Every structure is written in C-alpha cells, then in structure tokens.
Amino acid sequence: MEKVDLIILGAGPGGYRAAEYAAKQGLKVVVFEGSEVGGTCLNVGCIPTKTYVHSATFAEARERMATVVAQLRQGVEGILSHPNITLVRENGVFTDAHTVGDYTADNIIIATGSETKWLPIKGKDDPRVVDSTGLLNLETQPKRLAIIGAGVIGMEFASVFNRFGTEVTVIEYLKECLPALDSDIAKRLRKYLEKQGITFKMKTAVEDIAAIDADVVLMATGRKPRTEGLGLEAIGVNLAPNGAIPVDDNYQIVNGQWPNGKCYAIGDVNGKQMLAHAAEMQAIHAVNQIIGKKDGIDFSIMPAAIFTQPEAACVGPTEDLLKEQGLAYECKKSFWRANGKAMAMNETEGLLKLFVSPDGLILGCHAYGAHSADIIQEVSVLMCKHTTMAELADMVHIHPTLSEILKSAVD
Ligand code: FAD
C-alpha cells in the first residue's frame, strides 16, 4: 500500500483541475479514471456540443468533433503527466475511508461526475431513444428528431439540429423552457427558435414513446450524480434524496468515516451547480482547504450559458425570484437591435435585463442574443468586485462592440 497526499476519483474538469493544482502545490497525487480523461465535459458534453454549434452541417460537425476532442484530450493527458501525479486507468473503489485500490491518503476528492437521468416513461427501451451521448454518436443525420425536455441540453440540441435541417420537436412538461433563466428571456428565445422552425409542445407529458412520431428521440430530462460502485455505503456516506453526495460550503462530505482526514466531493457528483467551470473552481477551493490556503472564491456568483443560436446566459437570480422574495430592485433593459455592432453583424435578436438594488449594486443579469455569454461574464466580474451602477457608467466600453449593450442598460 503506497501512501500519498491526495487521492482523486475521476479525471473530468473537477478531477484533473484538482490534480493539476495540487501537484503544482507540491502534493503527491493519485488520480483514478476508468474511462477517457477529460470527463463528460471534454468527451461527450461541453466541447463536442459546442463543435456542433460552430459547424455548418452535420457531417462537418462529426468530423470536427473527433479532431477537437482528441486534441483537447491530449492536453489533459499532458496535465496529468506531471511528476507529482500518478494516473491509474481504472475506476476507484473505497476499501476503507482512506484507501482506494493500492493507495492510501488522508485527503480524498471524489469527482465522479454525473450521468443521464432516464425517466421511467413507457417505451423508453425503444431503439429510437438516445441520451445526449447517443445523439452525438449518431452517424447519420435524423430527418425528424423529438426531444423530451426543454432544459439546457434539450434546447442546445434543438437549436443545432434545426440549423442542420432536421425537423425538430421539443416536448416539455413545464409551461416554459430553461427554468433557470428569467422566464421573460426564456419565452422570447423560445418564440424566436419557433420562428426558426422548431416545434415546441409545452405543458405536455410524454406517456408513451410509441406515440412519438420521430426517427430519433432524445431523452434530455436531466442528469444525476454518479456514485454507483464507489463503495460509499461501506464508509458511512449517506446520499441526499437526489442521489448527490452531501457536502458543506467547503465541499467537504458531511457524513462518513474520516476521523483523521478529509474527504471532498466536487463537481456534478455533489449536485450543487452542474457546470464545468463550477467543478473547476470547487476543485481549487477543495485543494486550498487541504493545504490550508484561504481564497476569495464566491460560489454565489455563478454565471451560466446556454449555447443555442442566439445564445442565452445569466448570473444571479431571475426577476421571477426577486419578486417572489419581495426584494426591492429596478430592472434595466437593453436590446441587441439598438446596438451598432449587432446591426453590422446582422444579429439584432436579443434582450438584456439587468437587476439593480436600490443602492445601485448589481443583483443579477439575464440575457439572450449573440455572444450574451461574454457580456454576462463582464457582469459576473463586476458583481465579484461589488461594482455600483455609477461606477459602471464611468467605465469606457469599446465602440462598436456588443459590450455596449450592457453599458446602454446603465446609461
Ligand atoms: P465529469 O466531467 O462527469 O467527470 C467525471 C469523471 O469521473 C469521468 O471521466 C468518469 O469516467 C470518472 N469516473 C466515474 N466514476 C469513477 C470512479 N469510480 N473512479 C474513477 N473515475 C470515475 N457544462 C458547462 O459548463 N458548459 C457547457 O457548455 C456544458 N455542456 C454540456 C453538454 C452536455 C451534452 C452535457 C451532458 C453536459 C454539459 N455540461 C456543460 C456539464 C459539464 O459537462 C459537467 O458539469 C462537467 O463535466 C462536470 O465535471 P466533473 O468533473 O464533475 O464530472
């Protein structure tokens, strides 16, 4: 049994970032990964889907996806070849609270990610039914695609396949798509995509797959933490009702048997914020806890984007939530159609809503429109720095750029 400083289970964005950072701090690290390095994000998530978004045809998307994924995977292999890191190419299983495989450590990070949540709908074993990974593996473009679920994954694929010329129908149980997005913005985006040819069946529950008239059916009804086979029961970890590993604000597991050491669960497996950049920042924070270093990461400011065309993005609460909580706020709006760069780009569809407190602080911002993720990123930085409206009004923005859409909301 070899003793090391840190054992990490999983080499997705959470796991490989934790390994890279810990190794640079001088810790001896062992990473277990039973599949390709890079995790869901690199192999079957963020990166392949975004190569689809930026390809003109299905055939081009498939070709580019393979090249881009292979290149980035090589980059992660490079990161994990650091002399302080040992990569064990198998799944890790706890044999006791400090031991995984042939290694033992006081500190352990579980970063095993998530997997598709299959709804128990009648006919779900129909060969036409695929999850996001199955859809990315299709070799021929479907003529008709039905998508169950209008969340982020469903909406991104709907937008992409509609652009490729596939007939797309989205079926959603709720009244609006993208529940984490401001409902006004979500509705406008859905209406715009409807005009582009996507059919939406809202407030509709799928009861039997056999009733769906399509060549391929994408199950996009969410993801669940991946914990099976880790041996957590044996070391006293009780999962939350949603299957996540329960953690505190420092991502340390709140139950289990770690009298002399620490065990963390970061990324999708803790079910908190299922985003690649959240996993990476949680990784840094967990390692900082291990080495006793203070950091100023504010996990309450977590920007997110939806890569439809045009894209949508948000940071902070929706207007609906602000109303529900009875918080005082002002909503400042700005439109893509009034922006010179957007007009020049022929990308005039879009709206930004900025929510401001009575003392001028930014509470949140939700938007859809070309490159809205970049604009929301600026808002996130301003929120991290507690910038006021008056200070933002004094900041010069390049003309002509889409960033002036944010500036106009303030002016
Ligand atoms: P993962 O990336 O899932 O990595 C976990 C790793 O652990 C895997 O490699 C797995 O093989 C390994 N593993 C599992 N069990 C074990 C074990 N017992 N021992 C060792 N290793 C194990 N997020 C964004 O921020 N932006 C996007 O645009 C975006 N697009 C997405 C598109 C799709 C289609 C999907 C499915 C997801 C998307 N996501 C996106 C979400 C993003 O992929 C995840 O939030 C991110 O991958 C989580 O990282 P992670 O490290 O927690 O887990």
Question: How far away, in angstroms, is 373 Cα from ligand 1 center?
Answer: 21
| Probe residue for ligand 1, chosen from 29, 33, 40 as the CB with the greatest number of ligand atoms within 8 Å | 40
CA atoms of 88 and 77, how far apart (whole Å): 12
pLDDT at residue 260 tops 80: no
45 lines ligand 1 (CB under 6 A): yes
Q: Residue 38: which pLDDT band, with cuts at 50, 70 and 90?
A: very high
Q: What would the pLDDT profile of 207-219 be if each residue is shown by its tens digit?
A: 999 999 999 999 9
Instruction: Give, using CA atoms, the residue closest to atom 43 of ligand 1.
Output: 41
279 lines ligand 1 (CB under 6 A): yes
Q: What would the pLDDT profile of 122-152 be if each residue is shown by its tens digit?
A: 999 999 999 999 999 999 999 999 999 999 9
Q: What pLDDT score does 121 carry?
A: 94
pLDDT at residue 265 tops 90: yes
Q: What pLDDT score does 255 carry?
A: 86
Interhelix angle for 58-79 vs 46-53, to 10°? 150
Instruction: Give, using CA atoms, the residue closest to atom 3 of ligand 1.
Output: 113
Average pLDDT in the chain: 97
Ligand 1 atom nearest to 114, measured from its CA: 3
Q: What would the pLDDT profile of 214-233 be if each residue is shown by its tens digit?
A: 999 999 999 999 999 999 98
Q: What pLDDT score does 26 carry?
A: 98
Q: Residue 261: which pLDDT band, with cuts at 50, 70 and 90?
A: confident
Instruction: Give, using CA atoms, the residue closest to atom 53 of ligand 1.
Output: 113
Ligand 1 atom nearest to 268, measured from its CA: 52
**pLDDT > 90: what percent of the chain?**
97
- In this structure, what token pair is assigned to residue 368? 């859809």
The residues, any chain, with a CB within 8 Å of residue 350's CB and separated by 6 or more, are 310, 335, 336, 337, 342, 367, 368, 369, 370, 372, 405
Question: How far away, in angstroms, is 118 Cα from ligand 1 center?
Answer: 17
Which among 277, 386, 397, 399 is annotated as catalytic?
399
- In this structure, what token pair is assigned to residue 389? 């409206």
pLDDT at residue 234 tops 90: no
CA atoms of 84 and 22, how far apart (whole Å): 9
User: Between these two residues, 254 and 261, which has the higher pLDDT value?
Assistant: 254
34 lines ligand 1 (CB under 6 A): yes
| Probe residue for ligand 1, chosen from 17, 21, 41, 235 as the CB with the greatest number of ligand atoms within 8 Å | 41
408 contacts 352 by C-beta, under 8 angstroms: no
Q: What would the pLDDT profile of 296-336 be if each residue is shown by its tens digit?
A: 999 999 999 999 999 999 999 999 999 999 999 999 999 99
Question: How far away, in angstroms, is 12 Cα from ligand 1 center?
Answer: 6
Instruction: From residue 243, give the alpha-carbon distance in Å to each of 80, 175, 230, 277, 292.
Output: 29, 26, 13, 21, 30
pTM of the predicted model as reported, rounded to 2 decimal places: 0.97
Residues 248-261, mean pLDDT to the nearest whole number: 86
Residues 70-78, mean pLDDT to the nearest whole number: 98
Instruction: From residue 164, give the alpha-carbon distance in Å to each of 55, 62, 245.
Output: 9, 12, 39
303 lines ligand 1 (CB under 6 A): no
Q: Is 277 a catalytic residue?
A: no
Ligand 1 atom nearest to 307, measured from its CA: 28
226 lines ligand 1 (CB under 6 A): yes
Instruction: Give, using CA atoms, the residue closest to atom 30 of ligand 1.
Output: 46
Residues 378-396, mean pLDDT to the nearest whole number: 97
Q: Residue 257: which pLDDT band, with cuts at 50, 70 and 90?
A: confident
Task: Name the pairing type of β-strands 2-9 and 29-32.
Answer: parallel
| Probe residue for ligand 1, chosen from 44, 46, 103, 285 as the CB with the greatest number of ligand atoms within 8 Å | 46
Residues 85-103, mean pLDDT to the nearest whole number: 96
